[in-house]
Structure 1
Amino acid sequence: MDDARVRLIVCTVGGSPDPIVLSINRDRPDAALFVVSQETKRVLDEQIHPRLEKAPRLCDIVVVDRDRLSDSFRGISSKIREKLREWQVSPSEAVADITGGTKAMAGGLALAAAVLGLRTRYVAGNRPDRLGAVEPGTETPVDEANPFELYAVLQQEEAARMLAEGYPGAAARVLEEALRKSCSTELRARIGALAGLLRALEAVDRFAFSAAKSDLGKALDRLEMEPRLVGGPVVLERLRNLRDHWEACGSIVSSGNKPQDRPQTPLMLELIANARRRRARREFDTAVACLYRATEMFAQDLLWRAFGANRGRIGADNLPEEAVSRLQADGFAPDSSGFYKLGLARSFDLLRYGPEELRHHAGVYEALKPHLEFRNASILAHGVASVDEKKALELEEAVLQRLDIAPDDLPDWPSIVLSLE
């Protein structure tokens, strides 16, 4: 619960005035709003104001029907909104004391407090007959968090479930809904950090690395102070490493219109990690498309190393004469600028004319061909077929093996444990 100083107390008036006097004298707020009925208005001047040690500088009343819950809620919530603006008080600095008044009045204030983000208070104490009034001198204020803070914990549990199922964007929306209703400054900061982390993961899923870097950077500013919010220091360290990795991916993406000057390995690994997440979500066609593009990127990097190619675009002048002769014999001709743009199969085959240390990659396509063919027939490529889980997993395993990538090399997300406690 937020420990912000109480600047505004909203009290329902009716029954014994002692709890109201105790509550105001304890907090000495700057402002007070009294919820009264036609029958209890006179209690303010006769039994409450004279007993206040320090009267609030700002006071007002709202008159409601003591027996109508809906009337009480509408009148109270409207008046609280008005006074929060007029008196420049934030919801986290206000307390709703529901001790006095009828059940309809107290219920109306409790509902208004929950919706508007106020904390609640009830003055308890000894009741000799268990059901009657509190015994004078035994009054004890009991402060409670806003009910929506409890709601936020439930939302956090739902967000954790969605993240575990691989849907960070949906999880972020759940937390953002809780963020709009929570009043505690501390809780809002925690929810905001977790929602920012989830937005970063969602951005990575759609290859928006610049947005991911920004969202994660803001989230880490808070998570660094409380690693337990995501599962501890080990998870936090993994997120830091991923931030650096995503920055490298973003750099490759942003240089897409410039000549290739570095390996595309980070982005290639990200594509494979993305494919694994898609497969886990049963998005098999998209998973296979990511794996195919990762294989293309792997081949492009090899051609860059072998012949100075630019993302698969190879200058005829950079190729050995025997490679050019082979291309011509197979019906391939350079474009008007003297460059070849080759498909995946021909890209790998061309490596047999490259440096000795790269020639063993020339057979990669033939090894992957049985698995890649169903990609070509899929609805996201050149056909209308759908890919099933078995085929997606087979291609994933084949790509990892033929591209010599260990699962530990992939930028998989850590097991994040969302917590607001």
Structure 2
Amino acid sequence: MEAKSVHKILIISVGGSIDPVVSSIQKNRPDRIVFVCSDDLETTPGSYRLVSQILNQAGATDCRYEVIRIKEIDDLNVCYTESLRIIERERREFVKATLIVDYTGGTKSMSAGLAAAAMDVPGVFLCVMKGLRADLKQVQAGTQRLRLSSTDATYVQRQERLLVTLLRRYDYAAAKELIDQLIHTPDLPPEIESRLQRRLILCQAFDSWDKFDHITAKNLLEPYRKDFYKRILFLENIWRSLALLKGEMEATKLPEKMHGFEAVEDLLLNAERRAHQQRFDDAVARLYRAIELAGQLLLKIRYGLDTGRVDIARLPEALQARYAEQQAARGKVQLALVEAYTLLAELDAGCRSVWERWEKALKNLLQLRNYSILAHGFKPISQDDYERIRAESVEFIGEMLRAANVPWTDNWHERQLPVDL
């Protein structure tokens, strides 16, 4: 029989009793059967020996079939893994066929493994033969009746539990992929499909945000503005903060409740998410950038100075000669992180007081970052290293901004991205 003529497949576990297997074949009328059987043991012949008898009694000798033998019939993990391999293979090779999994026969581990595997694959129907029982051992011959149920609802529920785990890790990209697969589950109830569609868009939004694509994130969140008003407002302020740095916006045009350093908050929050995922090198790279960005924004907002090309004419006359020498030697004056804070200390007494206390400690801190494989070295950042760098980075940024009269508070923690969608 050619693959294209296979419309219905029955995967069925076989135990010592053949009656429920025969009944299942007769009632399901498959084009192809995969028998999941026990292999020969030392003292017991395997159930695979019963397949010919089953086919004869079911009147299905012309049906296409395959016999799979399982040696470890009481090992649930083996039974599950082998069953999942079979189901996924059949689903892959016969995409349009109806796939029925009957777990009536076989050992307890074979039945449980087969049923569990079926619930991990969408578009599968579970089948069990029910009937009258004279005892607790087996159903009476001749009383069997077929019971079919779709595994899709169970599959979706199980996958949504996995989704919760991914969201708790802020893994929006993986969550997005999982939902995209779930949405293609056949015959989803409208309320489940609607919930998944919403979650898919929100995961796309927060994945974009997580990758600093703030404009895409805002556009995706707009239809849910009522639910995410504060987050959208934060996104808008992050954009304004970066626009200030790029010279696309004047500080005098900031909204009343905006301090201009929201992009720094965003980096600190992003660092926390990377640390939550045990990606400490990534987290420290973001902390470094947050420190650097805080200095750049201070110079830009307070003095109109761009660290990428310092306009010497904006400097106090006492500093112009020194920086003019740099400009003559390099063609332009560019300030790295330490140089930016050194200039801030020269321009502002409050910043100078903070810098004098922090300069040595901050340089030592940055040295740890420089040893990272994501900077200039080969040593991965440990969790202890990260915790130390984070604590000191947050403390330094807070002290420096408050010294410059920025209304900076620690409530930026409250703006962490959500894990409950």
Three-state SS of the structure 1 residue aligned to 2:364 is: coil
- Cα deviations across residues 257-297 of structure 1 (Å, max 9, x unaligned)? xx733369999423234335647959796676344323212
TM-score with structure 1 setting the length: 0.58
Structure 1 residue 120 and structure 2 residue 131: aligned? no
**2-structure distance, mates of 1:103, 1:288:** 54
Match of 2:248 among 252, 255, 261: 261
More off after superposition, 124-133 vs 146-155? 146-155
Match in the other structure for 1:333: 325
Three-state SS of the structure 1 residue aligned to 2:264 is: helix
Three-state SS of the structure 1 residue aligned to 2:419 is: coil
Q: How far 1:121 sits from its partner (Å)?
A: 2.9
**2-structure distance, mates of 1:372, 1:395:** 7
Structure 1 residue 15 and structure 2 residue 5: aligned? no
Conservation of the 8 A alpha-carbon contact between 1:275 and 1:286: no
Q: How far 1:32 sits from its partner (Å)?
A: 4.2
TM-score with structure 2 setting the length: 0.58
**1-structure distance, mates of 2:90, 2:104:** 21
Match in the other structure for 2:265: 272
Q: Any residues of structure 2 matched to 1:191-340 within 5 Å, and which?
A: 208-210=211-213, 234=227, 236-237=228-229, 240=232, 260-262=247-249, 268-275=261-268, 278=271, 281=275, 289-302=288-301, 307=304, 309-311=305-307, 313-316=309-312, 318-319=313-314, 323=315, 325-328=317-320, 332-333=324-325, 335-336=327-328, 340=333
CA separation of 1:34 and 1:133: change in aligned 2, threshold 3 A: same
Q: Give the number of equivalent residue pairs.
A: 359
Q: How far 1:97 sits from its partner (Å)?
A: 1.4
Q: How far 1:196 sits from its partner (Å)?
A: 8.6
Structure 1 residue 99 and structure 2 residue 104: aligned? yes
Q: How far 1:96 sits from its partner (Å)?
A: 0.8
Match in the other structure for 2:351: 365
**1-structure distance, mates of 2:81, 2:342:** 73
Conservation of the 8 A alpha-carbon contact between 1:279 and 1:287: no
Structure 1 residue 398 and structure 2 residue 399: aligned? yes
Among all aligned residue pairs of Structure 1 and Structure 2, give the percentage whose two residues are the same amino acid.
Answer: 13
Structure 1 residue 141 and structure 2 residue 178: aligned? no
**1-structure distance, mates of 2:322, 2:95:** 79
CA separation of 1:43 and 1:199: change in aligned 2, threshold 3 A: same
**2-structure distance, mates of 1:35, 1:7:** 14
Q: How far 1:394 sits from its partner (Å)?
A: 3.1
Q: Which amino acid aligns with 1:344?
A: A
Q: How far 1:404 sits from its partner (Å)?
A: 1.9
**2-structure distance, mates of 1:215, 1:75:** 42
Structure 1 residue 60 and structure 2 residue 53: aligned? no
**2-structure distance, mates of 1:68, 1:245:** 61
**2-structure distance, mates of 1:295, 1:106:** 61
Q: Which amino acid aligns with 1:87?
A: F
Conservation of the 8 A alpha-carbon contact between 1:35 and 1:63: yes
**2-structure distance, mates of 1:341, 1:138:** 84
**2-structure distance, mates of 1:237, 1:125:** 57
Match in the other structure for 2:40: none
CA separation of 1:129 and 1:176: change in aligned 2, threshold 3 A: same
**1-structure distance, mates of 2:71, 2:413:** 64
Q: How far 1:62 sits from its partner (Å)?
A: 1.2
Conservation of the 8 A alpha-carbon contact between 2:128 and 2:148: yes
CA separation of 1:175 and 1:340: change in aligned 2, threshold 3 A: closer
CA separation of 1:241 and 1:178: change in aligned 2, threshold 3 A: same
Q: How far 1:335 sits from its partner (Å)?
A: 1.5
Three-state SS of the structure 2 residue aligned to 1:39 is: helix
Conservation of the 8 A alpha-carbon contact between 1:20 and 1:48: no
Conservation of the 8 A alpha-carbon contact between 1:376 and 1:382: no
More off after superposition, 367-376 vs 66-75? 66-75
Conservation of the 8 A alpha-carbon contact between 2:35 and 2:67: yes
CA separation of 1:372 and 1:104: change in aligned 2, threshold 3 A: closer
Conservation of the 8 A alpha-carbon contact between 2:126 and 2:149: yes
Conservation of the 8 A alpha-carbon contact between 1:9 and 1:95: yes
- Cα deviations across residues 305-328 of structure 1 (Å, max 9, x unaligned)? x55x44462334x54xxx563124
Q: Which amino acid aligns with 1:120?
A: L
Three-state SS of the structure 2 residue aligned to 1:120 is: strand
Three-state SS of the structure 2 residue aligned to 1:405 is: coil
Match in the other structure for 1:39: 50
- Cα deviations across residues 199-252 of structure 1 (Å, max 9, x unaligned)? 8757756xx424x7668978x69xx7xx9xxxx973x55555566567668x85
Conservation of the 8 A alpha-carbon contact between 1:344 and 1:365: no
Conservation of the 8 A alpha-carbon contact between 2:8 and 2:99: yes
Match in the other structure for 2:382: none
Conservation of the 8 A alpha-carbon contact between 1:260 and 1:311: no
Q: Which amino acid aligns with 2:355?
A: K
Q: How far 1:331 sits from its partner (Å)?
A: 6.7
CA separation of 1:363 and 1:192: change in aligned 2, threshold 3 A: farther
**1-structure distance, mates of 2:333, 2:353:** 24
**2-structure distance, mates of 1:66, 1:382:** 54
Alpha-carbon RMSD:
5.6
Unaligned runs of 5+ in 2: 1-6, 37-47, 372-384
